Amino acid sequence: MRSSSSNQHIVNFGRRPPLSLLLLCFICAVVLIVVLGSSSSNTLDTLASSPIPDFYKNYRRLKEQAATEYLEIRSLSLGITNTREFDLCGKDRESHVPCYNVSANLLAGFHDGEEFDRHCEVSQVGQRCLVRPPKDYKIPLRWPAGKDVIWSGNVKITKDQFLSSGSMTKRLMLLEENQIAFHSEDGMNIDGVKDYSRQVAEMIGLGSDSEFHQAGVHTVLDIGCGFGSFGAHLLSLNLMTVCIAAYEVFGSQVQLSLERGLPAMIGDFISKQLPYPSLSFDMVHCAQCGITWDEKDGAFLIEVDRLLKPGGYFVLTSPTSKPQGGSLNVKKGTVFTPLEEFTQKICWSLLAQQDETFVWQKTAEVHCYASRKQGGVPSLCKADYDAQSYYQPLRSCISGTTSKRWIPIQNRSAGILPEDFLEDSEVWRSALKNYWSLLTPLIFSDHPKRPGDEDPLPPFNMLRNVMDMNAHYGGLNAALLEAKKSAWVMNVVPIRTSNTLPLILDRGFAGVLHDWCEPFPTYPRTYDMLHANGLLSHYSSGHCDISDLFLEMDRILRPEGWVVLRDKLQAIEKARSLATQIRWEARVIELQNDNDQRLLVCQKPFLKK
């Protein structure tokens, strides 16, 4: 990708003497003439009552460049911009994940496994720089080819680790030259994942795994997912499956899953709750996930109970050859006796056991908890306990029983309905159509387009991993599904905003709570597109540095990935300046009938040195 001519233009302005009021007025006049002169030749699709109006689909580069340069000059005149570009980080930070520093955690006094947990409070502020890709990094193959073949240089895994992998999914990989291939879902059923999925379905009482939806299973949390083969199969059945696994320096399950285009994030059960509210998932799955479930007085099982919706399922597979945590043994009458006893105390029913696989079902009856009188029964949490579920300590009480969302998964019709979001859906349907028309390198071309030329549509599969950094109701996710784009969305609900995550999860989407003053729990280069509507204004109060937010966005964005920001004019002015420092190519787009809002569309270049 070429270097941005507009970026160089900004640097030149920065070297000139301070701008006079006369120059600023002159530029404003030029912009006004250009805008008014071209408005008659552009036909606009308007959305009169929409909070996100349509913007120019057929625009001329001259008008766009004038608007961009106006904002650049205005930023300079207000002293907003610092045009010094950030340096590139060293090779040691190519796969850096902040907040997971084992050495620092040990020094801070964390032990008994907690040193491997997320501790942003003890992480030292490192060098503020741009994380570069590894030497052998290549742009991932487009979906669906990228699901089965990835570049080995894109992930941090050694040959020895590859050969020693022993879990159900790890051993399914084939290492060939510079690629890692996974067994496809098509053709011969070599890997056993389909058979395993059918087995679980039969244990629930279904005829096949294609009937999971009939049992109310729409969303699955896969703990310690290997490298995603089970989740990939469930996604082919239209089940939203999110992988979580502990941070790993090498051979990360989360990194490889995301590289395959499968939903995943770093998370574990060591000492803290996961950043999801109560009643979030229809099924929680663990196949040799490394958790000793009978430790900490059942705290891990209580956390699973918190995450499960009423009537949801917990699937545990523990191969005889590899006992979990050194203490688990699948012989009934030894280790699983305490497990069975505790699951009865928290109102779970053991539906079935086949070989090494066990399936429990959480009760759908609230009164069940109060009726348990035997010793050691967990108490019920206070009503306000789930107001904030952002990395709180593991608790010993049962939560969610007073929630209005206590609805059995088998009664899904009583939950969120598409018609509940008709107005919001129309807004995002229009917005996505316009976004898609802008996601093309032609908007950064040095050659103005001929009048009347429309932007060619980008390839339908150019995006796979999408993050909505301020997801609201999940409208962008819904629009992508309706448009049949082959993308999934990590819907992020920032803390200190209205907590709409329960609603997003009830729509069957992936989502998580997050504080954008902290790094996101993922590896570098794991998202194709970042979208944020109103996020910059929300974080403009000064409780964290917006430049750190942009550095974090650059860390998790893949080379040649896209950023779409919609916000107030002043926030976009600052964002345009920061995009220059981050070395992104950027354009400011005006919105129809909304003088206080702008759209900033950016693309990250492929920087190697």
Complete DSSP assignment for 408-419: -GGGGGGS--GG
Residue 108, H or E segment: none
DSSP category for residue 224: S
Give the up-direction half-sphere exposure of residue 280: CA atoms within 13 A in the CB hemisphere: 29
Q: How far apart are CA 64 and CA 38, in angstroms?
A: 11
Residue 243 and residue 257 in contact, taking contact as beta carbons nearer than 8 Å: yes
Q: The tokens of 479 are what?
A: 């629009």
Predicted local distance difference test score (pLDDT) of residue 331: 44
Predicted local distance difference test score (pLDDT) of residue 335: 47
Predicted local distance difference test score (pLDDT) of residue 279: 95
Contacts of 513 (CB under 8 A, 6+ apart): 275, 276, 277, 389, 390, 492, 493, 494, 495, 499, 501
Q: How far apart are CA 440 and CA 442, in angstroms?
A: 5
**Considering the domain 414-447+456-604, what is its CATH architecture?**
3-Layer(aba) Sandwich (3.40)
Predicted local distance difference test score (pLDDT) of residue 414: 57
Residue 527 and residue 465 in contact, taking contact as beta carbons nearer than 8 Å: yes
Residue 574, H or E segment: helix 569-581
**Which residues of the chain are modeled with pLDDT < 70?**
1-83, 124-126, 158-175, 183-191, 319-337, 373-375, 383-388, 412-418, 440-461, 594, 609
Identify the CA nearest to 566 among candidates 65, 54, 76, 21.
Answer: 54
| CB neighbourhood size of 592 (10 A) | 16
pLDDT digits (tens, 9 = 90+) for 287-343: 988 898 988 889 999 999 999 999 999 999 986 433 343 333 444 444 456 888 899
Predicted local distance difference test score (pLDDT) of residue 125: 63
Residue 228, H or E segment: none
Complete DSSP assignment for 115-176: GGS--GGG-------BPPPPTT--PPPPTTHHHHEEEGGGS---HHHHHH--STTGGGEEEE
Predicted local distance difference test score (pLDDT) of residue 454: 55
Predicted local distance difference test score (pLDDT) of residue 22: 52
Q: How far apart are CA 219 and CA 213, in angstroms?
A: 10
Predicted local distance difference test score (pLDDT) of residue 336: 54
SS3 percent helix, strand, coil of the chain, rounded to 5, is 35, 20, 45
DSSP helix/strand/coil, 558: strand
* pTM for this model (two decimals): 0.83
- Burial, 288: exposed, middle or buried (Cβ in 10 Å; 0-12, 13-18, 19+)? buried
Q: The tokens of 294 are what?
A: 């009978």
**Structure-token match 């703990």, residue found:** 223
Predicted local distance difference test score (pLDDT) of residue 62: 46
**Where do the domains of the chain lie?**
84-132, 414-447+456-604
Predicted local distance difference test score (pLDDT) of residue 527: 98
